[in-house]
């Protein structure tokens, strides 16, 4: 799910950048669209950090093959 969020976020950012450019070329205001783009960038950073954390936890054996967090006692036995 985290990977899907990262990939969807990348698409939202690309779409928003294209929208801002279209608005700019038409001489329309872009401030609100630029503000939304900034929010998308912040959310994208959160999604990417979440994906990194999950990946690190998988490497450390804290998650099972499906990505579910293991209980502490199961993770310690690994």
Residues for the chain: how many in total? 78
Find the helix or strand (DSSP H, E) in which 14 lies: helix 2-25
pLDDT tops 60 at residue 68: yes
* Cα 35 from Cα 78, distance rounded (Å): 46
At CA 37, angle to CA 41 and CA 56, rounded to 5?
Answer: 15
Q: What is the pLDDT of residues 11-67, one digit of tens each?
A: 999 999 999 999 999 999 999 999 999 999 999 999 999 888 887 766 666 667 776
Whole-structure pTM value: 0.71
CB contact at 8 A, 67 and 56? no
């Amino acid at each position: 799910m985290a990977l899907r969020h990262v990939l969807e976020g990348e698409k939202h950012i690309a779409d928003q950048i294209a929208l801002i450019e279209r608005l700019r070329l038409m001489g329309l205001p872009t401030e609100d669209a630029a503000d939304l783009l900034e929010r998308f960038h912040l959310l994208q950073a959160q999604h990417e950090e979440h994906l990194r954390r999950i990946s690190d936890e998988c490497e450390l054996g804290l998650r099972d093959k499906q990505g579910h967090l293991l209980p502490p006692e199961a993770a310690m036995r690994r």
